[in-house]
Amino acid sequence: MLDLSADKATQTDFESRSETHMWAVRDDAPPPMRPSPLVDPFGRAITYLRISVTDRCDFRCSYCMAENMQFLPKRDLLSLEELDRLCNVFVERGVRKLRITGGEPLVRRDIMQLFRRLSRHLDSGALDELTLTTNGSQLGRFAPELADLGIRRVNVSLDTLDADKFKDITRRGDLPTVLAGIEAARKAGIKVKINAVALKGLNEHEIPDMIRWAHGLGMDMTLIEVMPLGEIDGDRTDQFLPLSVAREHLEEQFTLTPLAHRTGGPARYVKIEETGGRLGFITPLTHNFCEGCNRVRLTCTGQLYLCLGQEDSADLRAPLRASEDDELLRQAVIDAIARKPKGHDFVIERARPAAVPRHMSVTGG
């Protein structure tokens, strides 16, 4: 069982607020004319929106959060109806992929209501993919319904297969529960990709075995460098493992063949010839991936972050709540994309504060 004593019970502490309301979008409404897509100042079409539905999480991963986190007041969160309206505006303007994130998205009360509403864009063909990133702790409960709603792929964040090490990294997670959630998703027909943060001295020697395990179950895997987002209890310099170094170690055991495969995100993929599976590398520090950025991130409070590694954001909550129609909101989105920066400024140096003060759980992991 997960140790949630520090945060009371999941069903109370993780609730946003009761959302028994009427949804604003009518099912019988005619499909709107599709306007021109959103294009940033550098000619990049914005086709991918990541939506954080909560900053709360039932884990406290050491590289992501402080152990004693101060979460947002529940009253500050957008309602599920408001999140649906925001997503609809982006889909109208050419966004083809929505990813639900957190914190841990599946601890948001009534979250399946949002998935049910957003799935209409899959049915209409306006959306290519609706997916989520999760720590897997709640996946066993929700996998069958997610599959029924058209979710075909999920990312599960998992940094180790050692139960004791998993407890140390997450500070309160239970590895068997996560593994059971992964199996539930696979049985439901959902394709699982494993995301692992490469941590120096902690899981770096376990990476080859994790690759063999994931590929043996038909799952892709992606390695991610530690990102300097938010203040934590330790020093990320001690955690940072350049993936260029990790790759060199992997090449001592495996044959890595570069692939053109892309999933809409920043990962660059190789095929591991010995396993037949795919391995991705996300390298925000050692190899900037900004030149092809096609995504923006929406927080659970309605802030639109145009770049993961920059503090500039646009407030979409105010125009959202200013009127019942979406004209003000649409213009606010257009104005925001017009100032999307070229790239991030991530750097990890000892004795420096985090490059970006907000935690990943606020922006959307």
Angle between helices 111-124 and 139-148 (to 10 degrees): 30
Q: Could you tell me the CATH number of the domain that includes residue 154? A: 3.20.20.70
Q: Which of 51-60, 110-119, 283-292, 306-315 has the lowest mean pLDDT?
A: 283-292
The structural domain count of the chain equals: 1
Question: Do strands 97-101 and 129-134 pair parallel, antiparallel, or not at all (unpaired)?
Answer: parallel
Cβ-count burial 204-233 (b if 16+ within 10 Å, e if not): eebbbebbbbbbeeebbbbbbbbbbbbebe
Beta bridge partners of 356: 229
60 vs 208, more confident: 208
Rounded Cα gap, residues 299 and 311, in angstroms: 13
- Kindly state the tokens that stand for 30: 């005619």
H-state helical runs in the chain? 10-13, 80-92, 111-124, 139-148, 163-170, 175-187, 207-216, 236-239, 243-250, 317-322, 327-337, 360-363
**Tens digit of pLDDT for each residue in 146-156?**
999 999 999 99
Say if residue 343 is preceded by a cis peptide, omega within 30 of 0.
Answer: no
Is 339 annotated as a binding-site member? no
**Tens digit of pLDDT for each residue in 82-139?**
999 999 999 999 999 999 999 999 999 999 999 999 999 999 999 999 999 999 999 9
Residue 74 in domain: yes
Put residue 32 in one of left, alpha, beta given phi > 0 → left and psi -120 to 50 → alpha.
beta
Biggest distance spanned by C-alpha atoms of the chain = 60
Residue 247 in domain: no
The DSSP annotation for 71-87 comes to: PPPGGGSPPHHHHHHHH
Is 293 annotated as a binding-site member? yes
Contact (Cβ atoms closer than 8 angstroms) between residue 4 and residue 172: yes
Question: Do strands 256-258 and 220-224 pair parallel, antiparallel, or not at all (unpaired)?
Answer: unpaired
Task: Note the pLDDT of residue 261.
Answer: 83
Is 87 annotated as a binding-site member? no
Task: Note the pLDDT of residue 358.
Answer: 46
> Does the pLDDT of residue 270 top 70, yes or no?
yes
Residue 163 in domain: yes
Is 300 annotated as a binding-site member? no
Task: Note the pLDDT of residue 11.
Answer: 39
Residue 199 in domain: no
Contact (Cβ atoms closer than 8 angstroms) between residue 82 and residue 24: no
Rounded Cα gap, residues 236 and 227, in angstroms: 8
**Tens digit of pLDDT for each residue in 12-66?**
343 443 444 445 554 555 555 566 889 999 999 999 999 999 999 999 888 877 7
Stretch 275-302: mean pLDDT: 82
Is 307 annotated as a binding-site member? yes
Residue 200 in domain: no
Is 57 annotated as a binding-site member? yes
End-to-end CA distance of the chain: 24
**Tens digit of pLDDT for each residue in 328-350?**
999 999 999 999 987 655 444 44
Q: How many CA atoms lie within 13 A of 60 on its CB side?
A: 18
Residue 45 in domain: yes
Going by pLDDT thresholds of 50, 70 and 90, the confidence category of residue 180 is very high
Beta bridge partners of 196: 223
**Tens digit of pLDDT for each residue in 211-260?**
999 999 999 999 998 865 445 445 546 678 889 999 999 999 999 999 99
What is the span of the domain harbouring residue 59?
A: 5-17+32-192+292-363
Contact (Cβ atoms closer than 8 angstroms) between residue 339 and residue 312: yes
> Does the pLDDT of residue 197 top 80, yes or no?
yes
Residue 341 in domain: yes
290 vs 329, more confident: 329
Residue 235 in domain: no
Question: Do strands 153-157 and 191-197 pair parallel, antiparallel, or not at all (unpaired)?
Answer: parallel
> Does the pLDDT of residue 364 top 80, yes or no?
no
